[in-house]
Amino acid sequence: MKDRGHIAYIEDIIESIDKILRYLDTVNGLDDFLKNEMVIDAVTRNYEIIGEAVNQVPKAVKEKYPQLPWKQMYGLRNFAIHEYHLIDPVILWEIAEDHLVDNKIQLENLLDQERGT
């Protein structure tokens, strides 16, 4: 597989965050989310994409931006892939509610710095 460069992977992470937030906007709160398997599946899939993209970001970039939860993003991917039967949708919801907007802002700032804009 050809290396796409860390900028492309950061863009993938931001795109998946945007998708998660859009999917969650289609439900009316946590109770509605818990009843919607398709949204849960779509959200889970995009957390997996985030984790896989994080895994492709070079260590030097991660060390340059330690404020981002790189290890947790990759860990959630591993959990979703290998322990899928234990996934608690409430946790997926809480991560989105408590962290994704801030993570997206930090990633957009990272892109600005890496691009020199």
Active site residue 4: no
Catalytic residue among 77, 85, 99, 115: 77
> Could you tell me if 23 and 42 are in contact, meaning their C-beta atoms sit under 8 angstroms apart?
yes
In a 3-state reduction of DSSP, which class is residue 45? helix
Catalytic residue among 4, 22, 45, 82: 82
Choose among 99, 24, 45: nearest CA to 68. Answer: 99
| DSSP string for 40-86 | HHHHHHHHHHHHHHHHHS-HHHHHH-TTS-HHHHHHHHHHHHHSGGG
Active site residue 77: yes
Q: Give catalytic residues, as residue numbers.
A: 77, 82
